[in-house]
Amino acid sequence: KPAKRSSSESNSHEGAMAGEISALEEAFRKFAVHGDTRATGKEMHGKNWSKLCKDCHIIDGKNVTTTDVDIVFSKIKGKSVRTITFEQFKEALQELSKKRFKGKSDEEALQEMYKLIEGKGPGLTGVTKTVASPTVSRLTDTSKFTGSHKERFDASGKGKGRAGREDLVDNSGYVSGYKHAGTYDHKVQGNK
């Protein structure tokens, strides 16, 4: 019976390991497609690898630096290739885990590395935000526009689209400046 118990324990550990790897793979895919509309999520560029290491706090500034991350990426990827696969990604993590968690065994260090990455996605830190300065607000306030630009917006500031950009031809038969359009028939018929 103890043999069965140990085998079931190892099976549950392998199941947990498979769960961790799937969460790890999900994080890998999220970072792999970040910033690239053509990315499939199966391969990761060096830029996204660096972002993953920064966002997941693998780079601590003491044991692991940005230089270490770049060196490991160059070492793991093929010579003529610019990306790494998920398997190469795990190799790179194993390589970095030895540096990041020096006091732990290789397996414990790798597990700690997985815990840092699991469930994470690319953050939007450092992304450009809109500026609310008086200059920008003055340039974008449609109520202060003059001339032909004023005609492009209605009173609420919403753009008129094509009607505001082009002179649409009025085919009513009257000159554009004539204000009493449609009154001729009324005058002529009223006199009869």
Where exactly are the structural domains of the chain? 23-116
Q: How far is Cα 76 from Cα 57, in angstroms, rounded to an integer?
A: 20
Phi, psi of 83 (to 5 degrees): -130, 165
Identify the CA nearest to 20 among candidates 115, 109, 96.
115
Q: Specify whether the CB–CB gap between 70 and 46 falls below 8 A.
A: yes
At 191 the pLDDT is: 65
* Residue reference for tokens 């009324």: 186
Q: DSSP E strands: which ranges in 7-114?
A: 43-45, 83-85
At 192 the pLDDT is: 58
Q: How far is Cα 18 from Cα 114, in angstroms, rounded to an integer?
A: 12
pTM (two decimals): 0.55
Indicate the pairing of strand 83-85 with strand 43-45.
antiparallel
Q: How far is Cα 119 from Cα 122, in angstroms, rounded to an integer?
A: 10
At 1 the pLDDT is: 44
At 127 the pLDDT is: 62
At 72 the pLDDT is: 92
- How far is CA 71 from each of CA 11, 65, 74, rounded to the nearest angstrom? 36, 10, 5
List the CATH code of the domain at 23-116.
1.10.238.10
Along the chain (192 residues), what's the average pLDDT of each consecutive run of 10 residues? Answer: 41 44 80 83 88 87 89 89 90 88 87 83 68 76 78 78 70 75 74 62
